[in-house]
Structure 1
Amino acid sequence: MTSPQTILKAWNLRARKELGQNFLREPTLAENIVNLAAIGCQDLVLEIGAGLGAMTIPAARRARRVIAVEKDRLLVPLLQAELLAQGLQHVQVMEANILALDLNRLAEQEGQAFVVIGNLPYNISSQVMVKLITERRSVRRAVLMFQKELADRLCAAPGNRTYGRLSVLLQYCAEMKVLREIKAEMFYPKPKVGSTVLQIDFKARIEPQVSDEALMIRVVQAAFGQRRKTLRNALAGGLLPLGGDGAAAVLEAAAIDPQRRAETLSVADFVRLTDAVGRYLVRPDRQA
């Protein structure tokens, strides 16, 4: 693999900061990450942010088929040329914004669920994770690179200052494992912080299971939206149609102290709270 600097210079291109582009510099590292993803010859791989093909090429040598999604239209012909030079014809390079793709529909068209890989741009990492959570029936496994601070947030336990909305939503439906840490020096351009490779396995069965996942997303967002406030005040803040009395009622129904704050609640607490909110919102005697 030629260095990112050399490839970009040859094509008269540059890394685009506005797209959060930081390319892997070391080919053996890209190969190692693909190895950690345990891609097999029958797998369908979806790569988010294929870039210069550092992981696309080794993934394609293992997988049945690869769909490489790249938003930067200037990189698409470069990536296609690299794949052609390697004789890899079972890779579809898709110029698209991953956030705009219907993953469930795409997986249905392909006839199987994806193994998702990628070096996620920091500016959309959180949005990508919410998308994978909500469309997870099309994802068998994900092995993704995150900037370290976000990876720490995803894995954080209740009571930790980094525990937040994404921690709850991901831990509700998935098991996570840290596969390796990557120093900032391994990227071009060099980012301010290092990265972490996480393996995310979505659960076949969730216990306890919430009655309305879309509502849970709203409840968690409301609770952490004003995380310095007590839960009663945060839930009454307007993101949910509760008001002060409603917030107090759902917290009592869920057996949660209204003076607690969002970061102290476990995933199971949020499941109970969401179910209590759902029951409250359909009460015929509830004041609008």
Structure 2
Amino acid sequence: MTSPRTLLSAWNLSPKKQYGQNFLADPSTAEMIIFRSKILPEDIILEVGSGLGALTIPLAAAAHQVYAVEKDPNLVQVLQNEILSKSIDNVEILNENILKLDINGLAAKHDRKIIVFGNLPYNISSQILIKLIKERSCVSRAILMFQKELAQRICGKPGSKDYGRISVMLKYCADTAKIADVKASLFYPKPKIDSEILEIRFKEHQDVVADDETFFFSVIKAAFGKRRKTLKNSLSASELGISAQNAESALNSAGIDPSRRSETLNIEEFVKLGNTVYKSMI
């Protein structure tokens, strides 16, 4: 593996802050990630932010097909050259924005669910996660690298300061586990903090199910929109369009004290609240 610094220099390129580019510079770490992820020869991979191919190339050796999504057109040229030089024929590079990509269409080509990989840019990590949650019918699991502080929020538990909108949405539909820590020193350029790799495995069968999932996610967003406020005040001050009186009534009907705050509710309580509010509005 050619070092990112050397490769970028050869192409007269430099990392772009607007894309959150920090390139993995240690091939053994890439191999470790793929080994622990237990990729099978029949797997279809969607890689988010393929960059210079640190994960793309070893993924191609392990899986049946890799779709490498890279927004930066300059890096697409570099990656194409790397792929060709190694005679790899099972990688398709997509110069697209992951947030606009038709993931279902890719899965449909192979008539099977896909696995998502990626070292996610910090500034759009939450948006990508929400997209995967909403399109999880065609995604079996995701192995994603986050800055450590975001990974901790994703895995936040009820009652903790890390518990928030994303952790609730994931607890509703997925099981999350840590795969590894990755030191900041293993990237070029070196980020300010270390990273953490999480496996997000979407549930085939959920323990609790919302009556209307889109509305349920809106209730979660509303509950954490003003997290210092009580649930009654958070819901009534949100875009849901309900009054303080109706919010209090819905919370009471769900068996939830209106004076509680959002971070104290477990997933079962959130689903019950979402269903109660939904029924009160139809």
Bigger mean CA deviation after superposition, 254-263 or 240-249: 240-249
Q: Give the Å deviation of 1:108.
A: 1.0
* 5+ long unaligned stretches in structure 2: none
Where in structure 2 are the equivalents of 1:113-128 lying within 5 Å?
Answer: 113-128=113-128
Secondary structure of the 1:117 match is strand
1:220-277 deviation digits (Å, cap 9, x = unpaired) = 1000000000000000003112111110111011110000000001011100000001
In structure 2, the partner of 1:211 is: 211
In structure 2, the partner of 1:63 is: 63
> What is the alpha-carbon distance in structure 1 between the residues aligned to residue 49 and residue 37 of structure 2?
16
In structure 2, the partner of 1:169 is: 169
Q: What letter matches 2:153 in structure 1?
A: R
Compute the TM-score of the two structures, normalised by the length of structure 1: 0.97
Q: Does 1:190 align with 2:190?
A: yes
* 5+ long unaligned stretches in structure 1: 283-288
How many residue pairs get aligned? The number is: 282
> What is the alpha-carbon distance in structure 1 between the residues aligned to residue 238 and residue 260 of structure 2?
18
In structure 2, the partner of 1:146 is: 146
Compute the TM-score of the two structures, normalised by the length of structure 2: 0.99
Q: Give the Å deviation of 1:128.
A: 0.4
1:104-147 deviation digits (Å, cap 9, x = unpaired) = 12211232211111101111100000000000011112111011
1:87-117 deviation digits (Å, cap 9, x = unpaired) = 1011000000000012112211232211111
> What is the alpha-carbon distance in structure 2 between the residues aligned to residue 89 and residue 262 of structure 1?
49
Bigger mean CA deviation after superposition, 100-109 or 74-83: 100-109
Where in structure 2 are the equivalents of 1:191-270 lying within 5 Å?
Answer: 191-270=191-270
Bigger mean CA deviation after superposition, 136-145 or 224-233: 136-145
Secondary structure of the 1:178 match is strand
> What is the alpha-carbon distance in structure 2 between the residues aligned to residue 84 and residue 250 of structure 1?
60
Q: Does 1:84 align with 2:84?
A: yes
User: What is the root-mean-square deviation in Å for CA atoms of aligned residues?
Assistant: 0.8
Secondary structure of the 1:45 match is strand
In structure 1, the partner of 2:110 is: 110
> What is the alpha-carbon distance in structure 1 between the residues aligned to residue 56 and residue 37 of structure 2?
12
> What is the alpha-carbon distance in structure 2 between the residues aligned to residue 36 and residue 7 of structure 1?
27
Q: What letter matches 2:51 in structure 1?
A: G
Q: Give the Å deviation of 1:26.
A: 0.5
> What is the alpha-carbon distance in structure 2 between the residues aligned to residue 207 and residue 220 of structure 1?
18
Are the counterparts in 1 of residues 225 and 238 from structure 2 also a CA contact under 8 Å? Answer: no
In structure 2, the partner of 1:275 is: 275
Secondary structure of the 1:181 match is strand
Q: Give the Å deviation of 1:212.
A: 1.0
Task: Give the percent of matched residue pairs that are identical in Structure 1 and Structure 2.
Answer: 49
In structure 1, the partner of 2:97 is: 97
In structure 1, the partner of 2:53 is: 53
Secondary structure of the 1:115 match is strand
Structure 1 runs of 4+ with >3 Å offset: none
> What is the alpha-carbon distance in structure 2 between the residues aligned to residue 150 and residue 36 of structure 1?
21
